[in-house]
Structure 1
């Protein structure tokens, strides 16, 4: 039931966040662009701000916004069929119900689907930052501009599922994400932030508040462990080491060697070298988590070359190492927000 009556039970902020997270999962399930998810979230929020919808119809509204976004952003061959979408998404509504809801959404939004999303502003601000501060990525030599944008895209989509950040415009949220990232990478991040703030004609007090909320919300994303394990192969001692983020388990080597304990004591050369390799492996996992975003974003920077071989776990191509071939199983892409 969709009505403007004040007596209608409205969708709660937590219910809104849950359905946005569900749409994020559908994006991965149907292998769609991040722009599709961003537009679907924007359409959903605009519609819920226009009418009062009963929570039991929220899934139908969300899947309809998702289908509208896919037809707006994706190429024809990538758009999921309506029957397939209704069946595989487990939305609980039929194809005809999705079509009827589509018409209601279009009428309420005056058929205006080409609205700017936070992701659009992220692309703009990131391009300005990279062009005016080429040294921005000097501390991240393993990342191209599009790969770095993929990292920020993952963070932004995570923040879009936070109802507390709805009080800010999409441009403000995008600028907050870029500002937080620049603060970690370059010393003169504040002048560049002020420059972008002036270009966007936004208030500094709002940006400060948005940065605080976004940083707090991103802390939960950074604490989530990856779904893949990293296998570090040591051909000299034929030792296979399985590393989960935050947990290290070492299999004893059949060849006598130094103690491979978890101590971070770098006073011993062997321990320091091993700890360095494990740290490099963990960084590689974090880069792999954004490969899905990178595949769709690299076109923005005309980076048509093949992505880096994910088999290179610690920054070195294992196929070129001397000694036996690595027994590491291939790593599979993870599903991220």
Structure 2
């Protein structure tokens, strides 16, 4: 999906309707199974571990965001025994890569098996690929949470072009990369499997709107109306996503610098802390920003703190002098 300006409201509405229709046909309500002594089903913890492993593999091969999200979608639609989980996961990744990546970017089976250390031979991956395709009736096309995130994000920007002004250092594609990184985290949380992709994307975006946009509630109501989504469902989804993201924000980088500044008023301390956190998060996003900026035809970035960080040998943002008042 490539975004070309100007985005018309009719075009966005058509894409949303098409994605919602596809989601309604494919998506099934997740029913967690009770653990059994026979250990014949993949446990939630095993599923999350497999998704985190796929995320690392995705980063290693520098694949498109769509590849990882589709691989996780295929994995969740296919149920099997834990014994074959790594083989299933690598087969899902291979199928997703062949769907979205350019031919020259798709790794060979031999390279994939060796680099991933999945413990499977190329022939075993091929056999598992055939099993997955047969069970899914050779239908891998589905509307993922990333598809809805792209559409909802474009809808917000089409009616609030100045939405990102408050963020100062982020342009549109950088902001989408930030949200995509948060989506990766949500994909590895089994408690969110119960959410449709559209709900997960809308919850992520509206939580961000709440912190960035004064009229976020009006924008949220407009998105609910366009997506024909029940508000109570969104409220519940936002609670689940917010709880999941709180674990992401709690895990600070290992080189985090703490500055004790007792003379500053509490409000100013909080502002400085938020600004520092924003800088760290932007630098993490920049690792895969180049793969997303094509969506908005942004070949160059703004002169931002993100660019300044690239020329700095330290991964930590530059410290600002503290003046006592």
TM-score range, shorter chain: 0.7 to 0.9
Specify which structure has the bigger relative contact order, considering alpha-carbon pairs within 8 angstroms and separated by 6 or more residues. Answer: 2
1:191–1:279 Cα change, 3 Å: closer
1:294–1:113 Cα change, 3 Å: same
Is it true that 1:329 corresponds to 2:313 in the alignment?
A: yes
| TM-score of the pair, normalised by structure 2 | 0.78
Aligned-partner Cα distance in 2 for 1:28–1:36: 11
Aligned to 2:29: none
Aligned to 2:218: 191
Unmatched 5+ stretches in structure 2: 1-35, 317-325
Aligned-partner Cα distance in 1 for 2:315–2:307: 8
Aligned-partner Cα distance in 1 for 2:288–2:135: 31
Aligned 8 A contact 2:163 2:213 in 1: yes
Matches within 5 A, 1:274-293: 283-293=278-288
1:212–1:277 Cα change, 3 Å: closer
Aligned 8 A contact 2:171 2:301 in 1: no
Q: CA deviation at 1:78?
A: 1.4
Q: CA deviation at 1:162?
A: 1.1
Is it true that 1:26 corresponds to 2:57 in the alignment?
A: yes
Is it true that 1:213 corresponds to 2:197 in the alignment?
A: no
| TM-score of the pair, normalised by structure 1 | 0.76
Q: Show CA shifts across 1:182-220 (max 9, x none).
A: 010112111111111111112111111110010010011
Aligned 8 A contact 1:153 1:293 in 2: no
Q: CA deviation at 1:38?
A: 0.2
Aligned-partner Cα distance in 2 for 1:32–1:182: 28
Is it true that 1:312 corresponds to 2:323 in the alignment?
A: no
1:29–1:188 Cα change, 3 Å: same
Report which of the two structures shows the higher radius of gyration computed on alpha carbons. 1
Say which of 164, 172, 180 aligns to 1:145: 172
Aligned-partner Cα distance in 1 for 2:245–2:300: 31
Aligned-partner Cα distance in 2 for 1:292–1:307: 16
Considering fraction of residues, name the structure with more strand.
1
- Ranges of 4+ aligned residues in structure 1 off by more than 3 Å: 275-283, 306-311
Secondary structure of 1:134 counterpart: coil
Aligned-partner Cα distance in 1 for 2:98–2:257: 41
1:308–1:75 Cα change, 3 Å: farther
Considering fraction of residues, name the structure with more helix.
2
What is the RMSD of the two structures over their aligned residues, measured on CA atoms?
Answer: 2.7
Aligned to 2:152: 125
1:195–1:106 Cα change, 3 Å: same
Unmatched 5+ stretches in structure 1: 1-5, 228-243, 249-261, 319-327, 333-337
